[in-house]
Amino acid sequence: MKTQIITVLTAFLLVFAMAAPDVSAQTVPSFPTCANPQGTVTASYSEGDHGVPGNTGTNTGSDTVFELSGDTTMQCFCADNGDGTQTNWWHAASLTDEEVQILKNQGWIVVPNGELWGLAEGEWLTFSSPYACPASNKSDNNSSDNNNSSGDVLGASTDPGGSVLGLASTGNIAMIYGLAGVGVLSLLAGFLLRKISLP
């Protein structure tokens, strides 16, 4: 019976332990999104075939590159069919091999020589994620932004309401699962304790 009580208490601890935040060993720079790009346009093409790290197929569409800082660049590729790929480029020259391996396990791809991609020479880490963009046969009111190659900064990073640490949480599914899970465990604990108390 003591074993059962210990099992129940352990289950409680596991529920709360699972809610603990995942701490990443790396401090990855923050990148904006292609939906609201920041930085300075360094290259812009409204059509043609373009390279995307990790994608060996033919990538036909528009491509715009934004320099965010000396070490970070963002590439926004939009295929003709509306499938977009945002690639974050990070010139992390000071990372150790172990740190690079951790990032590779998280989905980052190593580009050995950025110079071949029009960037500074040396090793770059890239991370690509999909987004949806206007297909080439649809009217695109944002096309003037994508064709801007004059070096203008396309967006100011002004917080709309002071210090904004994160976007609003608009879901409560974790709370629902948590309440239901802890509720079931409580019922189980009550049942086990009742069994113990019976002569």
CA nearest neighbour of 72 among 113, 127, 116: 127
Beta bridge partners of 110: 125
- Among 141, 150, 151, 199, the residue binding other proteins under the rule CB under 8 A is 141
Q: Considering the rule CB under 8 A, would residue 57 count as an interface residue with other proteins?
A: no
CA distance 66 to 72: 9
In whole angstroms, the minimum distance from the beta carbon of 119 to other proteins comes to 21
H/E stretch holding 130 reads strand 124-132
What residue type is 96 in one-letter code? T
Q: Considering the rule CB under 8 A, would residue 184 count as an interface residue with other proteins?
A: yes
| DSSP secondary structure code for residue 184 in this structure | H
Q: Considering the rule CB under 8 A, would residue 159 count as an interface residue with other proteins?
A: yes
89 to 118, contacts with other proteins by CB under 8 A? none
Closer to other proteins by CB, 105 or 197: give it. Answer: 197
**Phi, psi (deg, nearest 5) at residue 187:** -60, -40
User: Which range, of 46-54, 91-99, 117-125, 156-164, touches other proteins by CB under 8 A?
Assistant: 156-164
| DSSP secondary structure code for residue 27 in this structure | -
**Phi, psi (deg, nearest 5) at residue 102:** -60, -45
- Among 30, 94, 96, 105, the residue binding other proteins under the rule CB under 8 A is 30
- Among 139, 150, 151, 199, the residue binding other proteins under the rule CB under 8 A is 139
Closer to other proteins by CB, 56 or 137: give it. Answer: 137
Compute the residue count for the chain: 199
CA distance 95 to 93: 6
Q: Considering the rule CB under 8 A, would residue 174 count as an interface residue with other proteins?
A: yes
Q: Which residues bind other proteins (CB under 8 A)?
A: 30-36, 38, 82, 84, 86, 129, 131-135, 138-142, 145, 154-177, 179-180, 182-191, 193-194, 196-197
